Amino acid sequence: MATKASRSAARLMMAPAVILLLGWMLVPLVMTLWFSFRTYLPLRGGDQGFAGFDNYVRFVTSSAFWPAIGATLTIVLGALIITIVLGVLLALLLDQPMWGQGIVRILVIAPFFVMPTVSGLVWKNMFLDSVNGLFAQVARMFGATPVEWIIDQPFASLILIVSWQWLPFATLILLTAIQSLDREQLEAAEMDGATAWKRFWHIILPHLSRAITVVLLIETIFLLSIFAEIKMTTAGAFGTKTLTYLIYQRVLESQNIGLGSAGGVYAIILANIVAIFLMRIVGKNLDR
Amino acid sequence: MARSISQRRKTINTVLAWSLGLLIFFPILWTILTSFKTEGDAIAYPPKFLFFDWTLENYAIVQERSNYMRYLWNSVIIAGGSTLLGILVAVPAAWSMAFVPSRRTKDILMWMLSTKMLPAVGVLYPIYLLFIKLGLLDTRTGLVIVLMLINLPIIVWMLYTYFKEIPAEILEAARMDGAGLKDEILHVLTPMAIPGIASTILLNFILAWNEAFWTLNLTAAQAGTLTAFIASYSSPEGLFYAKLSAASTMAIAPILILGWFSQKQLVRGLTFGAVK
Amino acid sequence: MKMTLRALLGASVSLALAGGVMAETITIATVNNGDMIRMQGYTDDFTAKTGHTVEWVTLEENVLRERVTTDITTKGGQFDIMTIGMYETPIWGKNGWLVPLNDLSADYDAADILPAMAGGLSYDGTLYAAPFYGESSMVMYRTDLMQKAGLTMPEAPTWAFIREAAAKMTDRANDINGICLRGKAGWGEGGAFITAMSNSFGARWFDENWKPTFDSEAWANTVNFFKGMMDESGPAGYATNGFNENLSLFQQGKCGMWIDATVAASFVTNPADSTVADRVGFALAPDNGLGKRSNWLWAWALAIPAGTQKEAAAKQFIEWATSKDYIELVAAKEGWANVPPGARTSLYQNPEYQKVPFAKMTLDSILSADPTQPTVDPVPYVGIQFAAIPEFAGIATDVSQEFSNAYAGQQTVEEALAKAQALATEAMEAAGY
């Protein structure tokens, strides 16, 4: 039972966070919106005046736009599916009794601590490179022709790198969830002769649904804006130019702030569509 | 009988888990190993795993070329400062959302998360201009503020979900005893929330440590972090695998060690309300 | 405490300099190339001479470019000296963002700067950046493999010869690729190479009316020739190879020929890094007999952003770093092969430097490049592997991505050129040409 006093105290306590974030959101957002309606070319002397909706039209009609949306969704979905499926399996395994559980857990978490730039560089040069990379060398040891990973499988390569970075996060959250499972319920089911598969499908998976939703939400937020991994591996070639990468090119390579800002507004719209979509699922799951 | 089966299962689990763990860890292990090789050994075919001439030469070269300690110190200050500041702002907000929820609480939470979805590069110019006006360019203060704001939504959310798990009965009991709001927070909630706060701090420290866009674009000579350190090695001339590995190892080692020592904390609190 | 100490130190140094300028700390943004890293090592010499101290911000080429461009366009004032190239200098100079370098001291001997370099780093006859080192591109080849193939490299080869030689030198079983070239996306990587190459095929980026010309036969010939030759004789995955990847391959003895920056000559002939150091020959970049060769011209130069408070100290640094004395300092400590090349005429008249195996070919390559007349047909722009207009970097990055996709076989050369034409036209119209 919240009293009136505690309600107003609560508002007061929420205020700093809300005001700060509101400022952090509104100031750049308003500036982005402003720039997106201007012809703003720093190398041509800056603000060249009102542009109407030119930047918006130009960004969306560019031949690079729809492929960029496609590339973004491919990478985000690919990495989400892999991290969640493998994350569930890994979490199930790590929950089993074994020797050296703590050390294994440390090994599994480690990729989460690696900076995106470093992991992009290391994967590209030391593993995926078709001449000096370890994968190519191992292939050659078995007499096979090395796969040109980044060229022939650009999406697979990127999804591999990104999944490697985010699998630890998914595993950790899912593992915590599994550990809170009611053991007696599982044992009772086993007594009743439920197969391992049935136990997983009817007891464990429903129990994990909340955790999966959380992983889905947090990872999506981060995956939508991945950049360093692409920059370091394909440099935007081979169809891997995502929306974030396209905006980066417009702002920093083309030095067209107006056009880039319009792209930024599109990215916000896309993110919100995804967010609403997610909220439908997440909201339901979180309310339970 | 049952015992021997479980022993066998335990063995299988162990073998399987260790293989997978080593597989996942392998890229990092390989990078660390390569950092101790000569450039020639680093690309030797067939690859050399453990039997090569171990050398510290790459570390010496990297150390000679750049002031590692300054980058490291900046990373510590900026990641630590932004996390602590974030916690200070987020704890009251998360508290009030968890214990005095209103109809809009969930919307506010979602809105907070959505502020994270604006691509950073899209607002580079606005923020850069703002930083010039405020004189915050290349200062640790400026980066502490920016990184705090970037991670604030995650902090609030994490704490909110954690606080929500604290049974309301305990609070009511405290109120019955005549505890004020201050006592309630300081003496009842905080002790219970310590694990959650600890793992929130850890997660955000990691996120801030690895942030590579703002730390690179808003700094010059004074406030550069380890991400800027890495940017000076990302494609040097000539054979570079070993030197790159050494620089990479130096950049990730501190956070890796911290993560390992605190992984129990991290695991315990990293639930995001996923456990009920 | 630290501050007062530094102030005290500064005061004592300026006293020691008796009437000299106040000791300052200047911040310099630079690229992580070998010559610049070496320069950082000699900073103490500069401090000893002038009393000024230096803070270095060393970044990878692309990051550096983004960083300094953001700072100069917003007048952020983070750097007292920026390391920039021939592409940025005329554009920035025109906008009045750089301090003119027309009053350097007599000792500095600005007239000694190679005319091609001074020309590319000036706008309207005023020098805006002083070249630290300059480069063109040339053929580097393995003398032993060339001999084995029964061929002799002419001093000025044609593309037809290069392709034939590449095919003959290729020995896949022994992991030897006849030729290694840049195919990586990015205007400074594969984009620079194919643009310089296209000049020798009679192609150009824009016609006199600023219309992109990727629909021309000359461009189709260029890209088809490149892809054809690389598919025959190039390394696996060449569509992701840039300067560093190729350098690494060449040093490992996996390339018969490599056409790239002249500065690479000192790396491939350095026995410490290169397994083939004693078997490298040099030749001019190839042509097609149309009157233009395929070599580019580039300089990494030091410039002072207008508005810095430390202009005098920054000028002193530039005079130190790009002086004849600095070259001699490096020569005395690390040998003539390691001095920053391609910036000064006097270096190439030095009998000691003439003994360096690649000195003559570097100079000949630089002298044969003319940024003001880069193509067979007339063009409205200046620049060989780029067009010095603000829009170029953005367009060329898009275009080079399409080319890389074609090298990788994900689309045909014709599709790539059609897309390049559309992208370039779109961008040029948007820019109001």
Checking if the pLDDT of A1 tops 50, the result is no
Return the bridge partners of C136, or none. C297
User: Which among C245, C410, C422 is the nearest to A238, CB-wise?
Assistant: C410
Q: Helices in B177-218 by DSSP H: which ranges?
A: 181-183, 190-210, 214-217
Measured N-to-C along each axis, helices A205-223 and A154-179 cross at an angle, to the nearest 10 degrees, of: 140
Locate the domains of chain A by residue range.
51-287
Q: From CA B220, how far away is CA C33, in angstroms rounded? A: 18
Range in A33-37, A185-189, B46-50, B219-223 with the lowest mean pLDDT: B46-50
| Subunit partners of chain A (3 or more CB pairs within 8 A) | B, C
Residue A148 and residue C237: Cβ atoms within 8 Å? yes
In sequence order, the 6+-apart residues with CB closer than 8 A to the CB of C112 are C324, C344, C345, C346
Q: From CA B129, how far away is CA B81, in angstroms rounded? A: 23
The pLDDT tens digits of the residues spanning C342-375 come to 999 999 999 999 999 999 999 999 999 988 899 9
Q: Does B260 touch chain A (CB under 8 A)?
A: yes
Q: How much is the mean pLDDT over chain B?
A: 83
Checking if the pLDDT of B102 tops 80, the result is no
The larger pLDDT score, comparing residue B43 to residue C75, is at C75
Return the bridge partners of C123, or none. C126
Q: Report the CATH superfamily, name and number, of domain C2-135+298-354.
A: Periplasmic binding protein-like II (3.40.190.10)
Phi and psi at residue C371, to the nearest 5°: -65, -20
Q: From CA A29, how far away is CA A34, in angstroms rounded? A: 8
User: Which among A58, A236, A255 is the nearest to C390, CB-wise?
Assistant: A255
User: Which among A7, A105, A213 is the nearest to B100, CB-wise?
Assistant: A7
Give the residue among C173, C400, C161, C389 at the shortest CA–CA distance from C289: C161
Query: What pTM did the predictor assign?
Result: 0.88
Q: C85: which 2 tokens?
A: 């190239």
CB burial class (10 A; 0-12, 13-18, 19+) of residue B175? middle
Mean pLDDT on B123-128 = 86
The 3-state secondary structure of C304-346 reads CECCCCCHHHHHHHHHHHCCHHHHHHHHHHHCHHHCCCCCEHH
The pLDDT tens digits of the residues spanning B13-38 come to 999 999 999 999 999 999 999 999 98
The predicted pLDDT at position A3 comes to 60
Question: How many C-beta atoms surround the C-beta of residue B75 within 10 A?
Answer: 24
Determine if the peptide bond prior to B92 is cis (ω within 30°). no
Query: B66-269 has which fold?
Result: MetI-like fold (1.10.3720)
The predicted pLDDT at position C8 comes to 46
**Which residue of chain B has the CA closest to A104?**
B21
Tell me the torsion sign for CA atoms B132, B210, B262, B182. Answer: positive
- From C364's Cα to the closest Cα of chain A, the distance in A is 33
pLDDT exceeding 70 applies to what percent of chain A? 94
Q: From CA B1, how far away is CA B7, in angstroms rounded? A: 10
The predicted pLDDT at position B41 comes to 81
User: Which among B138, B231, B237 is the nearest to C244, CB-wise?
Assistant: B237
The predicted pLDDT at position C261 comes to 94
Residue A225 and residue B149: Cβ atoms within 8 Å? no
Q: Which residues of A touch B82 (CB under 8 A)?
A: none
Given a contact cutoff of 8 angstroms between Cβ atoms, the answer to whether C391 and C427 are in contact is yes
Return the bridge partners of A74, or none. none
In sequence order, the 6+-apart residues with CB closer than 8 A to the CB of B8 are none
Q: How much is the mean pLDDT over chain C?
A: 91
Q: Which residues of B touch A264 (CB under 8 A)?
A: 118-119, 121-123
User: Which among C57, C252, C264 is the nearest to B220, CB-wise?
Assistant: C57
Outline which parts of chain C fall under CATH 3.40.190.10.
Answer: 2-135+298-354, 136-296+381-430
Checking if the pLDDT of A287 tops 60, the result is no
Question: How many C-beta atoms surround the C-beta of residue B26 within 10 A?
Answer: 15
The pLDDT tens digits of the residues spanning C157-189 come to 999 999 999 999 999 989 899 999 999 999 999
When scoring B95, B96, B131, B161 by the number of chain A Cβ atoms within 10 A, the one with the most, hence best to mutate, is: B96
Mean pLDDT on C209-228 = 96
Measured N-to-C along each axis, helices B190-210 and B140-164 cross at an angle, to the nearest 10 degrees, of: 140
The predicted pLDDT at position B274 comes to 54
Strands (E), chain A: 38-41, 46-50
The predicted pLDDT at position B110 comes to 76
The larger pLDDT score, comparing residue C77 to residue A132, is at C77
Residue A236 and residue C397: Cβ atoms within 8 Å? yes
Cα of C144 vs its chain's centroid, Å = 28
Confidence of residue A285 (pLDDT cuts 50, 70, 90): low
Checking if the pLDDT of B270 tops 90, the result is no
Residue A151 and residue C240: Cβ atoms within 8 Å? yes
Residue C59 and residue B231: Cβ atoms within 8 Å? yes
CATH of the domain spanning A51-287: 1.10.3720.10
Given a contact cutoff of 8 angstroms between Cβ atoms, the answer to whether C69 and A252 are in contact is yes
Residue A64 and residue C398: Cβ atoms within 8 Å? yes
The pLDDT tens digits of the residues spanning C38-72 come to 999 999 999 999 999 999 998 888 889 989 999 99
Locate the domains of chain B by residue range.
66-269
Amino acid at A33: L
Q: How much is the mean pLDDT over chain A?
A: 85
Q: From CA C256, how far away is CA C260, in angstroms rounded? A: 13
Checking if the pLDDT of C334 tops 70, the result is yes
Considering just the CA atoms, what is the radius of gyration of chain C in Å? Answer: 22
Confidence of residue C81 (pLDDT cuts 50, 70, 90): very high
Q: From CA A224, how far away is CA A148, in angstroms rounded? A: 26
ipTM for the assembly = 0.85
CA distances from B247 to A122, B37, B72, B251, C58 (A): 11, 13, 12, 6, 14
Q: Which long-range contacts (CB under 8 A, 24 or more apart) does B166-174 make?
A: B166/B98, B166/B192, B166/B193, B168/B99, B171/B99, B172/A1
Confidence of residue B238 (pLDDT cuts 50, 70, 90): low
Checking if the pLDDT of C3 tops 50, the result is no
Phi and psi at residue A49, to the nearest 5°: 110, 180
Confidence of residue B271 (pLDDT cuts 50, 70, 90): low
Q: From CA A154, how far away is CA A46, in angstroms rounded? A: 37
Q: From CA A233, how far away is CA C241, in angstroms rounded? A: 11
Q: Report the CATH superfamily, name and number, of domain C136-296+381-430.
A: Periplasmic binding protein-like II (3.40.190.10)
Q: Which residues of A touch C248 (CB under 8 A)?
A: 132
Mean pLDDT on A168-178 = 89
The pLDDT tens digits of the residues spanning C257-306 come to 999 999 999 889 988 888 899 999 999 999 999 999 999 999 999 999 99
The larger pLDDT score, comparing residue C12 to residue C97, is at C97
- Residue with the two structure tokens 């620049």: C383
CA–CA–CA angle C87, C91, C92 (5° rounding): 105
